[in-house]
A and B are shown apart, each in its own frame.
Chain A
Amino acid sequence: MRFVATADWQLGMTAHYLGDEARPRFAQARVDAIRSIGRVAAESGAELVLVCGDVFESNQLDRAVVARTFDALRDVPVPVWLLPGNHDPLDASSIYRSREFVDGCPAHVHVLDTPGVHVVAEGVEIVAAPWFSKAPLSDLVADALDGVEPAAGVVRIVAGHGTVLGIDRDDPAGISEDALSAAISAGRAQFAVLGDRHSTTEVTPRIWYPGAPEVTSRREDDPGNVLVVDVDHDTVAVDKVAVGTWTYAHHQAELTSDADVDELERWLAQLPAKDRTAVWLSLTGVLSVGEKARLDTVLDASRDLFALIDLWERHSDLVVTPADGEFGDLGLAGFARDAVEDLTLRLEGDDARAARDALGLLYRFSRGGAA
């Protein structure tokens, strides 16, 4: 049995850290990902698409998102099964129970809205563990599997959402990996697709996190994929297919010279699809005032190209200090030279950043640069 496993579409999510221009493109990319998934399903000959939780970013979304989602889903040629997760639980405000969803839902789209076995095709069953609140008090997957016995000739796929225990032991809703593995070993189910981790992760050969099809956070290791899963009682094959179009890059660089600045510039230049790439830089090292001025120029130029260029302040420690003779060559004398010394001393103090910027300004003005 072949199907496409995916999760964490997070439709309706807004990346407020992006600029005005990039933000709507980023949002649109999440909808476009659905169509990409449809193409993957068609090309791989999958029987269905299973989305394991967090289809929507929140239950409190403008219902317009439902219409856009259905529009994209109509382009998916196989049945699509949606599991409510922690972001879109089946609580009283559930988006799945909204008039817009119920009235507009295409025939091939189904919500796994009850825990337990759903027969989805001839010889194919999904054991669903949907979320009914944001903070369940038990292992929903184990609950869903309770009483499910092995059945010959039926391929069962567990659809769950949440962290597997071992990742967060304090979470009462954590999924017991041992119990899940035991159930699969006992033949009560053949494969488990889990949502909640946005990076594609293999827990066991038969337990996978497909991850988000489009990146959502700079902390994710391997987002932007869906899984094409081939599974039966004896064999399992998982094929990771990249569908994401956006890249979130976290780049660390140590800068100590103009050459390092050049290197950073080159690194930025070689990145593909810059308009769909957000870069967080962690910069460390020591630069002269002149070198820092150049770094600023490089970064300012990059900002025009990339969806985002940002300094990850918490992970950065870039020291700027006037190089020997750096200000001496600028013809500063008397009190101006005293001021440079004063500001240089301040680079060690509480207002280091202001002192650094002040020195940069002075450097620019003295050299006759643009104000």
Chain B
Amino acid sequence: MRLHRIRLTDFRGVTASDVDFDAPGVTVVVGPNEIGKSSLAEALRLVRDFKSSSQHSSIKAVQPTHRDVGPEVSVELSTGPYRLVYTKRWLRKPSTELQILEPRPEQLTGDQAHDRVEQILADTMDADLWTALQQVQGESLQQASLARVVSLQSALSALADDDVVGASHEDLLDRIEREFRRYHTATGKPTDVYAATIRELAEREEAVAVAEAHVRAVDDVVDRHERLTLERTRLQVRVGQARTDAEELAEREGALTELRRHHDEATARLGQSEVAVATARSAVEARAERVTEAARRTASSAEATEAWQRAVAAHTEAVQRLTAFDAARRGVTDEVGALRLDVVAAEQVVRAAQARADAEVIRERLAGIAAATARLEEAEAELAANPVDGEIVQQVADVQARLHAERDAAAAGAARFTVEQLGTAEVQLGGEAIEGTATRDLTAPVDIEVAGVVRVVMTPDDGAVRRRRKLEEREHELTALLAELGVADLAEARRRSGDRDDAARRAHAATVERDTLLAGESVEAVRARLTAIDTHGAAEPTVDLAEARVMLTDLTERLESAEQAVGASLHERERILTAVNATNERRLTTETHAASASAELERATARLESDRGGHTDEALAAALAATQAQHVLHADALESTRTALRKQDADGLEMLASNARELAKRLVDDLARLDADLAAATTELEVRGRDGLRDKLDTALSRLADTRRVHDSLEARAGAARLLRSTMRTHRDSAQQRYVAPFRQAVEALGSIVFGSDFAVDIADDLSIRSRTAHGVTVPFESLSGGAKEQLALVGRLATAQLVSADDGAPVILDDSLGFTDADRRRKLAAVINRVGSTSQIIILTCEPDRFADIGSARTVRLG
């Protein structure tokens, strides 16, 4: 179908507009605005959908406002063999006219015309294609819905290399799917019944395994029972054998008992003789020991006696040496005694001379002391007569000083007046007459009288009176003090004080001298000493003191040298005495030793003699020889019994017999255990054998067989359905891919201009674009940007228009497209549109003609 011309009259804002379209070719229709540009698309819709009598709101919406006119649309188009003009007016003077131009002219009006148009379009036009190629305003991002566009399908089928598309086999696929779904879920898992069978099969296999195990367990018990029975038979034989063996060996062992007793006795005897030999040998050895000891004692006794005799000799010699020394020493001792007496006498002489000298000194001292005492007493008498000391002088001076100060103060504070005698008349001042002038201070009331002429009484103020009184008191105090001291004035007091100080100094000097002479002693003590010397030593003054002292020194020196000589000899004597003591000690010690050794010798000799009294040495030696001979005999006897036992293999026999006894016992125990095991097995079989375990196994096997039959059958059918379904789907998908190939190629051929040479798309079965690959990156359609979506959707429509043959085709109508596309892509798309426009009809509705300015062959028309 192709549009040739659309005429709008009183349609919305358009009063009258006549638009011709190129077919094929690109026509850009520019509308005044958003609404205006879509008027064409709307007119095409309304003219088909509504009869001229319609009062539908869509119709009313396109009626011009404020004008009482009916909207009118006239369309000229060609479709199939037809070319026609179809005109409709609504609301005001509604009318429908159809003028068929080709193939045979025909004219129709009213509903007839409407129905005829619908019939022609239904016969010749693919309505789905018409819808698919219209890109409605605001939906430029959506792909055209191509799944059911028959004309495209036929075009693709024609291009595909076989008839794949012809056979959709929808029903067959449905049946296969239903069959598949009998056994499988949508995801291919077994359905309830099938799954239950699979589960049941596993369960029943398990049940069979369990039942088999039970049967096998009983079989095992049966086997065990058989084995035990067999073993028991063998064991019984062995028990008999073992008992026989044990008895025979016991008998043989009995015969050996006598021999064994002999052996034991011989062993005992040998033991006894061993003891006897040991006793005899120890007796001989004890005797030898005694003899040896006696000899040893004799020797040591002789040695001790000799040592004692040597010590006695040494001691005697030492004593003789001491005696000789003492005799030689006696002369020196006597000289010392005489010298000592002389020294004593000389000392007495010296002492007497000394006493005399001492008495003279004391006497001189006593005289000094008496003189000092007399001076002291004189000075002290002076002091007692004169009490005026420095302190008192100061006291007088202070009182006098204050008096002077107070007098000055009284004078200074009092009024001063002067009385002058002018005439001759006597002037009396204070009762005393004056001559010339008299100046006074007014310190007390005073009368000035000129007898018979005048008397002036002057009275001082209170302060002056008070000061006057105080001055008088101070004068009294000084007078009293001086009187008390017995002096006339301060100067005399000072002289008296100087006298007193002098007396005090003298008293002090006398005291110091006296104390020095006394030297801490009392006068009485000094005097007593003198008295003592006078009474005792006051002998004849024969010898001078110095002389006596020389004599004494000489004597003393002589005595010291004599005493040193005595000391030296005393030292020598000590040495000699020590030697005497040492030799004496040695003598005593050796004497003791000698006595002790002698006693030991005596005892040893006595013991030996006593022993020999019992048994002589020879007797003991004989006894030892006898017992040794006995021992040899007993050892031989034992060896012979031992040999006899060995010959009988007694040990082996005993081992065998005891082993046989133990074996028999053990075998009997084994037999008992075996019997117990057998009884247990029998009981177990009695209990379990009657359970019908074999029947249970058979039942389990039967159930398993039943389930297996069902399962195998189900599995075969499910497998067949699965295989059939998957095979069919695989081939259908690959056919589908072959089918969509030309569409994909067309889209890629056009799109590569816009998206680049490596542009590729994945086309779904419904011919929608699933994803785009550009610059090596594949992106699902839904995830693309708005611009890319818009461009791809447009390319899809253009490819469709290109693929559908011109006769079957429909115009591509783009209402407000490329709003999301940038200028660069728009230029490229312009080239694509231009290319497709050379074979298809493309109508672009826009209010922005600049967007499509680059389409080379486009013709632009304006609406209204």
Contacts and interface: CB of A to CB of B under 8 A. Distances in A.
A343 B727 CA distance: 8
B165 A358 contact: no
A234 B730 CA distance: 82
B422 to A, nearest CB: 188
Interface in A1-30: 12-14, 16-17, 19-20, 23
A23 B705 CA distance: 12
A213 interface: no
A365 B705 contact: no
Interface string A186-209: 000000000000000000000000
Contact of B172 (A23, A63, A359, A366): A366
A239 interface: no
Interface string A126-139: 00000011100000
A348 interface: no
A140 B165 CA distance: 81
Contacts of B551: none
B164 A335 contact: yes
A149 interface: no
A14 B225 contact: no
B721 interface: yes
A371 B179 contact: yes
Contacts of B720: 354, 357-358, 360-361
Interface string A84-119: 000000011101001110000000000000000000
A143 interface: no
A155 to B, nearest CB: 34
B694 A58 contact: yes
B719 A365 contact: no
A332 interface: yes
A344 to B, nearest CB: 11
Contact of B723 (A13, A62, A92, A355): A355
A335 B723 contact: no
B166 A14 contact: no
A332 B716 CA distance: 24
B681 interface: yes
Give the size range of A's interface with the partner: 35 or more
A14 B233 CA distance: 38
Contact of A354 (B215, B716, B728, B735): B716
Nearest to B693: A60
A133 B226 contact: yes
B689 A93 contact: yes
Given A335-B728, A335-B732, A357-B716, A92 B695 contact: no
B167 A334 contact: yes
B721 to A, nearest CB: 6
B654 to A, nearest CB: 42
B175 interface: yes
Contacts of B175: 365, 371
B685 interface: yes
B689 A358 contact: no
B162 interface: yes
A93 B219 CA distance: 9
A92 B226 contact: yes
B731 A16 contact: no
B127 to A, nearest CB: 26
A171 B524 CA distance: 169
A129 B701 CA distance: 33
B822 interface: no
A339 interface: yes
A353 B166 CA distance: 31
Contact of A339 (B226, B706, B727): B727
A269 B310 CA distance: 162
B694 A336 contact: no
B1 interface: no
Nearest to B721: A361
B226 A342 contact: no
Contacts of B225: 91-93
Interface of B: 162-167, 169, 172, 175-176, 178-179, 215, 218-219, 221-222, 225-226, 229, 681-682, 685, 688-695, 698-699, 701-702, 704-706, 709, 716-717, 719-724, 727-728, 730-732, 734-735
30 contacts: A12-B694, A14-B699, A16-B705, A57-B694, A59-B222, A59-B694, A60-B688, A61-B695, A91-B222, A92-B221, A92-B226, A92-B682, A95-B689, A98-B689, A133-B222, A134-B219, A334-B166, A335-B164, A335-B735, A336-B169, A336-B731, A342-B730, A343-B723, A357-B717, A357-B720, A357-B723, A358-B723, A361-B721, A362-B176, A365-B172
Sorted nearest first, the 6 A-B pairs with minimum C-beta distance are: A62-B692, A357-B720, A14-B698, A333-B167, A92-B225, A334-B167
Given A63-B690, A353-B716, 14 more contacts: A16-B698, A20-B706, A59-B694, A62-B691, A93-B221, A334-B162, A334-B165, A335-B732, A336-B169, A357-B720, A361-B179, A361-B721, A362-B172, A365-B179
